[in-house]
Structure 1
Amino acid sequence: MAVITINGNTPDNIPSGKTAHFYLFRLALIAAMGGYLFGFDFAVISGALPFLREQFGLNEYWEGFTTGCLAIGCIIGCFIAARTAERYGRKPALLLSAFIFAFSSAGMALAPGLSLFIFFRFCAGLGVGMASMLAPMYIAEVSPPQVRGRMVAIYQFTIVIGILITSLVNYALRNHSQDAWRWMFGTGVVPSVLFFIGVCFLPESPRWLFKANKDAKAQKVLSAIGDKNYVAASTASIKQSLAGVVKMNYMAALKQPFVAAVTVGIGLAVFQQFCGINVVFNYTSNIFASIGASQDDQLLQTVFIGSVNVVFTILAILLVDKLGRKPLMLIGAGGLCVLYIIIAIVLGARLATASAIFLLSAIGLYATTLAPVTWVLISEIFPNKVRDAASSIAIMSLWAAYFILTFTFPILTKLVGGVQNTFYVYAGICLAGFMLIYFKVQETKGKSLEEIETELMSETVK
């Protein structure tokens, strides 16, 4: 079993025994249920869009806004999550996000018109934005270094499980009635309630407890993960990193010595969206309609996409703590650049089978690399003193990029002369992302959050 090293000390084999392994996995899985609901709200629109288009008479602008308004809520949700998590703790903030998920799912299902539907989809975005910041951060803060990557990657795994199950439900409901879209959105209430119940049993993050001067409670959480040496070394390391900490401050996060880490985090978050893969998830029906696929075939493709996503995310969980973060990110950026050029060619030639194969290949590559590893890096690279604010800034940037991507796709398709030509644009962005990762991203595999912080601060001083 691997041994942790924290600031030069070797506290313990982690986690100590099967009980600690199970305990840690249980915490990560419950927190990551927010990812399932992220996947639900992300994927449900793809199956519902053909029905919404007919129900509300959407043109390309309203179609883009109806899809992308989720991201506007996500941006505000990140801000709410940062404030709530800083003042009250990670657990209360997760409970609030679970409540919002349930409220918004019921609201979208019952919405009598487009305006109310968009309002409730915006509310769903609040929940997604909160969970997307809180869940990876919470998991990273409770996880020892040697397993932190795979624990945080569980969050991405629950996202893709949410996407797959939602796609299957959408496909099953496709012939239910013209109101099938209401059932599609309404099914989100059930996992929302389960998420709320699960969060009730989570302990608070030990790093937040130390920050709130609740040392005894923090040490109790740490003692469930490792032995007394692990608790002592972790306590010393965390408290040292929190020395002189002030209340959450966005301006402090954007100044030296923190701005370098925040800038890299923003760049990674924006690239994860601008790489373009999410148009395949949200606009599956548009892409396959462009090559003559029927509505049934369009919905079936969302199931295939969801299945590939799940399989390759499992591969990512196995690789992230072995191969490392930076190699996976480089493989993802470079590979997508090449695949997008091929996809543009086969879509232009209206080769349905080849288009499906290469689109699924792109999904598989993204699921193994950029999708999970970006969340891992964002949860790791920010110093304890500004983690709430810095995470909030990075993930707000991610959702702003997602809104721009999804809102502009129907418009971009029209401007560049077809769906196929948009992939040339995304190929260029992937090339730029490759350069960003190569020159600016440091490897974080196997290091404690405090060790990563020390290294990043040293780089800034240089």
Structure 2
Amino acid sequence: MKKNSYFYIVLITLVATLGGLLFGYDTAVISGAEGALQAYFTDSLGLSSLVHGITVSSALIGCIIGGFVSGYFASNIGRKYSLVIAAVLFILSALGSAYPEFLFFTKGEPSIALLITFNIYRIIGGIGVGLASAVAPMYISEMAPPKIRGTLVSLNQFAIILGMLVVYFVNYGIANGQTIEWINDIGWRYMFLSEAIPAALFLVLLFTVPETPRYLILKNEDKKAMSVLNRLYEKAVATATLVEIKSSFDKHQGKAKLFSFGKAIVIIGILLSVFQQFVGINVALYYAPRIFESMGAGRDASMFQTIIMGLVNVVFTLIAIFTVDKFGRKPLLIIGSIGMTIGMFGVATMAYTNTIGIGTLIFIIIYTASFMMSWGPVVWVLISEIFPNKIRGQAVAIAVAAQWAANYFISSTYPAMMEISGGLTYSFYGLMSLLSAIFIWKFVPETKGRSLEELESQLVKSNEETQQKGDSKYTHETAYKTN
């Protein structure tokens, strides 16, 4: 890596991570607005808590769609212009969610049709989130040198958490000192509208960054790819990297089917995504103010406690950024799973005993901090690097779509589950946290410090050896071990 190229790759990464910031902003803005949405739509129209849960989680439908189509867009128009599309969708969603009455409805007169229109705008934003969540880590991974790839991809998670923290402050600033009537009528609109500012900045800055060399080689634009590589590496290293990337495509020409490299790698990617959501993180993020209110805090206090949680999330995400390329992916994930298990079972115990106090905040912080130093950033790192070049676009799309589908299931069922039993609900998330540790320990490979093409080569070699040996005990993890 060139001495003067470090600043260049960091700048490129920061632009890409604005997609992560908007990911976090869009998904967390609902935490401040969901109470007002319940009053404005659900309660005034006499609808059920299930409808409210679906409304709060409606953006996730778009996230699933965005995840599924991300592979098509990333493989056909490129990583960069897929992010451009995501930025445009963020802007449209911010404007439409803030004023869903535009053109067709009268302001201040909620109706079923208006509720559906609001959800459509949220779904549009969700498609942007789905695209950005898949393509931004992919873009960073394909641009980053192997030695700092984990750190740079983890910056995307930091941006997600920063986006959540920023919107917590924005929501708090909008709601602080205002009457509940004003918030339920006007305040929630400002919360959604505020997203248009970072979305517009993201759109403008994307036109200043290059396409990834791996996508350019995929499209036989070797000269452009070489130009990008020359910005990152000394000439000899850039040439060798170009040859290595081209070789990874040439070896498997015509073998672009999803399971060309075996089913295990795809299944592991999917399960990483599903476990990341089944541990219940987005329940804590989406419903944080309501959780604190249910434990006895007032509205302003609950919003403030949400900010505290957001600050803790930022600090512990930084821990992951500075350790993922030193300690590796597996140790961080296992440690995080243990911490999440302790935190969520602690919250469950307090819910069972109807104990109200600072203990709830402490256990939630333990839980979210453990997630942010492990499953938050590291899963995105693994998903961006474990799949071979030839299938990366479609495999990442499947994994991300599975992640958003799991997210939607968990988030939309939370209100109904809480009506049955809070303790049982949080115990379920604690159990999933425990199972996630076992899954990582038994099945997930370590990938730190190795080029994407080296990882791919080891995977191909292991598949060939497995076929020759017919050894059913030859696990997927050995695929990534050097000889």
Structures share a fold, TM > 0.5? yes
CA contact (8 A) 1:273 1:398 kept: yes
1:292 aligns with 296
Aligned length: 442
Shift of 1:245: 5.0
SS in 1 for 2:135: helix
Describe the superposition over 1:107-137 as per-residue Cα deviations: whole angstroms up to 9, x where unpaired. 0000133111111000110000000011000
2:57 aligns with 68
Shift of 1:70: 1.2
Choose from 279, 286, 296 the match for 1:282.
286
1:351 aligns with 356
2:142 aligns with 141
1:37-116 matches, within 5 Å, as 37-58=22-43, 59-112=48-101, 113-116=114-117
Could you tell me the percent identity over the aligned residues? 39
2:212 aligns with 205
SS in 1 for 2:250: coil
Shift of 1:248: 9.6
CA contact (8 A) 2:342 2:367 kept: no
**Given residue 57 of structure 1, which amino acid in structure 2 is its aligned partner?**
T
2:327 aligns with 323
> Are 1:378 and 2:367 matched, yes or no?
no
**Given residue 83 of structure 2, which amino acid in structure 1 is its aligned partner?**
L
Q: Distance in 1 between matches of 2:462 and 2:339?
A: 29
1:150-299 matches, within 5 Å, as 150-174=151-175, 175-176=177-178, 177-178=182-183, 179-243=186-250, 245=252, 252-253=257-258, 255-299=259-303
Question: In 2 relative to 1, CA 347–247 (structure 1 residues): closer, same or farther, beyond 3 Å?
Answer: farther
Question: How much is the aligned-residue C-alpha RMSD, in angstroms?
Answer: 1.4
Describe the superposition over 1:278-329 as per-residue Cα deviations: whole angstroms up to 9, x where unpaired. 1111111331222222111221122111111111111110011011001101
**Given residue 200 of structure 2, which amino acid in structure 1 is its aligned partner?**
V
Shift of 1:225: 0.7
Q: Distance in 1 between matches of 2:459 and 2:340?
A: 28
1:10 aligns with none
Describe the superposition over 1:402-457 as per-residue Cα deviations: whole angstroms up to 9, x where unpaired. 00010111111223x2x232111111111221111111111100000011112223
Question: In 2 relative to 1, CA 410–246 (structure 1 residues): closer, same or farther, beyond 3 Å?
Answer: farther
Q: Distance in 1 between matches of 2:289 and 2:165?
A: 16
Q: Distance in 2 between matches of 1:377 and 1:421?
A: 31
> Are 1:437 and 2:440 matched, yes or no?
yes
**Given residue 86 of structure 1, which amino acid in structure 2 is its aligned partner?**
S
CA contact (8 A) 1:27 1:202 kept: yes
CA contact (8 A) 2:339 2:366 kept: no
1:361 aligns with 366
> Which blocks of at least 5 consecutive residues in structure 1 are unaligned?
1-13
SS in 2 for 1:442: coil
Q: Distance in 2 between matches of 1:280 and 1:49?
A: 13
> Which blocks of at least 5 consecutive residues in structure 2 are unaligned?
102-113, 467-483
Question: In 2 relative to 1, CA 151–247 (structure 1 residues): closer, same or farther, beyond 3 Å?
Answer: farther
Q: Distance in 2 between matches of 1:196 and 1:156?
A: 19
CA contact (8 A) 1:94 1:131 kept: yes
Larger mean Cα displacement after TM superposition, 109-118 or 353-362 = 109-118
Q: Distance in 2 between matches of 1:460 and 1:362?
A: 38
CA contact (8 A) 1:86 1:248 kept: no
1:418-433 matches, within 5 Å, as 419-433=422-436
Choose from 10, 13, 17 the match for 1:32.
17
Q: Distance in 2 between matches of 1:306 and 1:60?
A: 26
Q: Distance in 1 between matches of 2:457 and 2:418?
A: 45
Shift of 1:236: 1.4
1:9 aligns with none
Question: In 2 relative to 1, CA 405–224 (structure 1 residues): closer, same or farther, beyond 3 Å?
Answer: same
Larger mean Cα displacement after TM superposition, 280-289 or 268-277 = 280-289
**Given residue 228 of structure 2, which amino acid in structure 1 is its aligned partner?**
V
Q: Distance in 1 between matches of 2:130 and 2:433?
A: 24
Describe the superposition over 1:377-403 as per-residue Cα deviations: whole angstroms up to 9, x where unpaired. 000000001000000000000000000
Question: In 2 relative to 1, CA 393–151 (structure 1 residues): closer, same or farther, beyond 3 Å?
Answer: same
1:457 aligns with 460
1:119 aligns with 120
CA contact (8 A) 1:43 1:281 kept: yes
Q: Distance in 2 between matches of 1:84 and 1:425?
A: 36
SS in 1 for 2:326: coil
Q: TM-score, normalised by structure 1?
A: 0.93
Larger mean Cα displacement after TM superposition, 229-238 or 120-129 = 229-238
Q: Distance in 2 between matches of 1:89 and 1:291?
A: 47
Q: Distance in 2 between matches of 1:170 and 1:335?
A: 29
Question: In 2 relative to 1, CA 365–221 (structure 1 residues): closer, same or farther, beyond 3 Å?
Answer: same
**Given residue 266 of structure 1, which amino acid in structure 2 is its aligned partner?**
I
**Given residue 361 of structure 1, which amino acid in structure 2 is its aligned partner?**
I
Q: Distance in 2 between matches of 1:348 and 1:354?
A: 13
SS in 1 for 2:447: coil
**Given residue 223 of structure 1, which amino acid in structure 2 is its aligned partner?**
N
Shift of 1:68: 1.6
